[in-house]
Chain A
Amino acid sequence: MRAVETPFEKVTAKTFPKGPDVLAPGHRACQGCGEVLALRLIMKALGTECIAVSATGCMEVCTAPFPQSAWRLPWIHVAFENAAAVASGVECAVETLRRKGRGPDKRIPVIAIAGDGGTADIGIQALSGALERGHEDFIYVCLDNEAYMNTGIQRSSETPFGANTTTSPSGKKSKGQATWKKDMPAIAAAHGVPYVATATPAFHLDLMSKVRRAAAIHGPAYLHVYSSCPTGWRLKPELAVSIGKMAVNSRVFPLYEVLDGRYAVNRRVDKPIPVGDYIKLQGRFRHLKEEDVAFIQARVDQEYERILKLAEAFPAEVEKAS
């Protein structure tokens, strides 16, 4: 079955799962953590009939300080770079035990969760291997907060151009991060997996429906989730959600899906807010000058247009399925 035709239960305002969270409170995430919000909503969409694998990072540390765990489902953490490989092992074990009559006779999604460093840098090899091998019940979620926050805001390959981090500091000879974000969704899609999507908790129904679709699809799914980090971005904590809306509405972070290699833009942004409005709320960009912002604006528009053209050239008929 093609990914686009795989039935799944959308999350709507009416069907929003209101029960207790899969991720219990009492975890040690910072005030206004956009990443833990993303995680909470993702796990809410999935429920407890699945197995979660975390990479080392903020989410792992703040949810699992012995002897307490926030996870209300089977959960495992092994190391930083290997969430995709651990999840591969879990997935194969579950599937084999099911086949051999020694496990529950149903599909159990296995979700691997890592940050941007754990995905795009140190974990990219394990992720590539897992995507290429085509594990049936495998979901990979990159919670992208655009730097190594757990170790103290060091730059990653997902840190946006111009951002000040502790290892891409702005200075007399530096504008901060000197490179553009690594295009992880494109890299994931290049593996020919059935499903790749971008999402943010600011568009919670979109995010949660994508998680449901990822779980329903047979084959690996990759979700790239924009997750704000007030601590690392020098952002007011109460703006954790609205900054995500601005990221989408400024075209900085387009919401789209790639199903069976075909594209769908989930939120067209025909009248974008200026990138400068998005940037000025975040202390990490404070040093940028007007011309730097214009430089970023041009790149943002170009990238958005690229996705739009892909969706025009190779459209996925996403609405048919739901």
Chain B
Amino acid sequence: MAAKRIGLEVSLAVSEAVMLCDADVVAAYPITPQTHIVEHLSELVADGKLDAAYIPVESEQSAMSSCIGSSAAGARTFTATSSQGLALMNEMLYIAPVLRTPVVMAIANRALSAPINIWNDHSDIMSVRDAGWVALFAENGQESLDLTIMSFRIGEDRRVSLPVSVNIDGFTLSHFIEPILVPTREEVAKYLPPFNPLVKLDIAKPVSIGMLGMPESYTEARKATDDALLASKEVVKECFADFAKQFGREYKVVESYRADDAETILVVMGSIAETAMTAVDEMREKGEKVGLVRLRLWRPFPVEEFKAAIKPAKNLAVIDRHMVMGVPDGPVALEVKSFLYADAARPSVSNYVLGLGGRDVTREDFWHITERAKAPDAAARPRYELVGVME
């Protein structure tokens, strides 16, 4: 039967995905712009459409704490947050991966204070990039729903058993109404096996979780978690492939757009890719050899796939949505440069930080960036630019 697209707010599509996955526990605290996700989830629970416990915790710190407890007790667990909420979870974000609790969290990405600002950028997720979570970035509504479903399968896979974040640009994606294909419960159940935890609080088989790791075991405990995170890339690819087989929508850890013969490649994450693709089309029409590479998987960083995708480029324009204070580079650029450093043949890399705190990102920005990234005069080619800043 041909499925029909329905007009759905992206936040609600994420909630619907959580319902289709039959989550057992949702613990969340309201924060803009994530609120529609958890509002709709509590509605689904109240209407009996989702048989889950909704824990209306008193803070994000408690949200993540409850999620870890719930996941450790064997329940499929979901939460959502943004910005300050993610920052308040910080301590627990680093604990969940080592305890191997596969919580799934949607992050409606929003700027960090100060100044307080409710609009979109990536400063929240980028500030916790070392925590040990699998991190995925959605570009559009369909992808937000699909990635949420896949996240449960990725995280709960016993080879992974790690928490997963699905990053959705706050407002510019989370609050848009898009035409979305919504699968049935039966279809999702076929794709997503029941949660069979790697580590579980079970009175029949007691175990102690959350041990004190002294100097003689701390390093190994951290390494074991990092190994699991690095190895999760293959599981992510497998879950993407199986999803494509069943639902016909194909996802890759790194997406390319008109990059095969591009001399200049824009590297982006999240929903601005749509604007960037339009800009690429416009520039291509003018004969510009420009293309785009989008990181869907941010953690673990898909180094090989990324390098393969940018191979044709002479000039790489890495676009960041977060400012790393005290260092003249954005987080994505810092990493890209470090991966490429040892390579004999590497492109010229320049870095552009833009769209902070909800400032619009337009086609013109990408035209400008492309011009700058390929400038023949080294002096005119910036190492780093805060795009559009009024100095």
Contacts and interface: CB of A to CB of B under 8 A. Distances in A.
B44 interface: no
Nearest to B221: A66
B24 A100 contact: yes
B267 interface: no
B62 A85 contact: yes
Interface in A44-98: 48-51, 53-54, 60-61, 64-67, 69, 71-79, 81-82, 84-90, 92-97
A125 interface: yes
* Interface majority SS (helix, strand, loop, mixed), chain A: mixed
Contacts of B200: 74
A93 B203 contact: no
A96 B284 CA distance: 55
Contacts of A29: none
A97 B217 contact: no
B66 interface: yes
B342 interface: no
A74 B206 contact: yes
Interface in B84-126: 91-92, 95, 99
A82 B65 contact: yes
Nearest to A77: B210
B8 to A, nearest CB: 26
B77 interface: yes
A104 interface: yes
A66 B53 contact: no
B212 A66 contact: yes
Contact of B51 (A73, A75, A99): A99
Contacts of A99: 51
Interface centre among B69, B206, B209 (most CB of A within 10 A): B69
Interface in B167-221: 194, 200-204, 206-214, 217, 221
B58 A78 contact: no
Interface string B13-31: 0000000000011010000
A25 interface: no
Given A85-B66, A92-B55, A99-B51, A64 B208 contact: yes
Interface of B: 24-25, 27, 51-53, 55-59, 61-63, 65-75, 77, 91-92, 95, 99, 194, 200-204, 206-214, 217, 221
29 contacts: A50-B203, A51-B201, A51-B203, A64-B211, A64-B212, A65-B212, A66-B221, A71-B206, A74-B208, A75-B206, A76-B201, A77-B210, A85-B63, A88-B55, A88-B57, A88-B65, A88-B66, A90-B69, A90-B201, A93-B25, A93-B72, A93-B75, A94-B73, A95-B53, A97-B74, A100-B24, A125-B61, A128-B58, A133-B56
